[in-house]
C-alpha cells in the first residue's frame, strides 16, 4: 500500500465521522478532507493502481437562475433530500461544477464551497475573502444574510457534499481497506 492509498483510507474514515458532526468546528474539518480528496488529487492518486470507475450520484434539480437566494443543501445527496428529485450520475468534474447556491445573482458550485470553507474560513487556512474573488465575497455575504440550522449555508452544505463523496468512493475505500487488513 502506498502513501496516497493510506492517506485516502484515513481521510475517508475521518469524513465518515465528520458528516455526522454536531459542532460547527467539526463540520468545518470536512472542508480539509474534501479539498485533499477532490481538489488536491488524493482520490486520483489513491485510485491510480485500482482504476475504479467512480460516479457521483446527486439530486437532479432545476436551478432557478433568476432567484435572488437559493440553496440546495440536503437536496444534493438524494437519501437526505426533503423533496424527491430525479438523480443524476456525473464524474468528478461534473460534481465539482454542480450549482449549490445562488446569492445576489451569483451562481456558486460544490468546488466554490469547498475552497471557501477550506481556504478562507479555517478548514485549512484562515483569512478574509479577497475583494476580487466574487465567489468568496458572495459566500461571505450569504453567511451574513442567512443561517440554516445555526450554520452559514456554505458550511452546512459541506455535510451533503461529504455524503455524496463518501458514497461515490465507497468501492475504492472498501478495496483498499481490505488490502490494508491483509497480513
The DSSP secondary-structure symbol of 48 reads: T
- The pLDDT tens digits for 24-41 are 899 999 999 999 999 999
Q: Where are the alpha helices (DSSP H) in the chain?
A: 3-18, 24-34, 42-46, 92-96, 110-119, 134-145, 153-168, 170-181
∠ CA 135-141-142, nearest 5°, is 85
Contact 153, 73 (CB under 8 A): yes
- Torsional class of 57: left (φ above 0), alpha (ψ -120 to 50), beta (otherwise): beta
Count of CA atoms in the C-beta half-sphere (13 A) of 40: 17
- Report pTM: 0.91
Contact 108, 136 (CB under 8 A): no
Q: Identify the CA nearest to 54 among candidates 62, 68, 44.
A: 44
Mean pLDDT of the chain: 89
- Torsional class of 150: left (φ above 0), alpha (ψ -120 to 50), beta (otherwise): left
Tell me how far apart the alpha carbons of residues 171 and 143 are, in angstroms, rounded to a whole number. 35
pLDDT on residue 154: 82
- The pLDDT tens digits for 109-127 are 999 999 988 988 877 887 7
Amino acid at each position: 500500500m502506498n502513501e496516497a492509498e493510506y492517506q485516502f483510507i484515513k481521510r475517508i474514515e475521518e469524513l465518515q465521522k465528520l458528516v455526522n458532526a454536531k459542532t460547527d468546528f467539526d463540520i468545518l474539518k470536512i472542508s480539509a478532507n474534501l479539498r485533499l480528496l477532490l481538489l488536491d488529487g488524493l482520490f486520483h492518486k489513491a485510485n491510480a493502481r485500482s482504476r475504479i470507475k467512480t460516479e457521483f450520484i446527486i439530486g437532479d434539480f432545476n436551478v432557478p437562475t433568476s432567484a435572488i437566494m437559493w440553496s440546495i443543501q440536503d437536496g444534493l445527496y438524494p437519501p437526505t433530500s426533503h423533496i424527491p428529485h430525479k438523480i443524476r450520475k456525473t464524474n468528478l468534474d461534473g460534481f465539482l461544477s454542480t450549482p449549490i447556491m445562488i446569492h445576489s445573482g451569483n451562481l456558486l458550485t460544490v468546488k466554490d464551497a469547498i475552497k471557501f470553507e477550506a481556504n478562507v474560513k479555517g478548514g485549512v487556512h484562515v483569512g478574509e475573502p479577497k475583494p476580487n474573488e466574487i465567489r468568496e465575497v458572495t459566500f461571505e455575504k450569504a453567511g451574513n444574510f442567512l443561517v440554516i440550522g445555526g450554520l452559514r449555508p456554505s458550511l452546512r452544505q459541506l455535510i451533503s457534499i461529504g455524503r455524496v463523496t463518501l458514497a461515490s468512493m465507497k468501492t475504492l475505500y472498501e478495496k483498499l481497506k481490505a488490502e490494508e487488513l491483509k497480513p
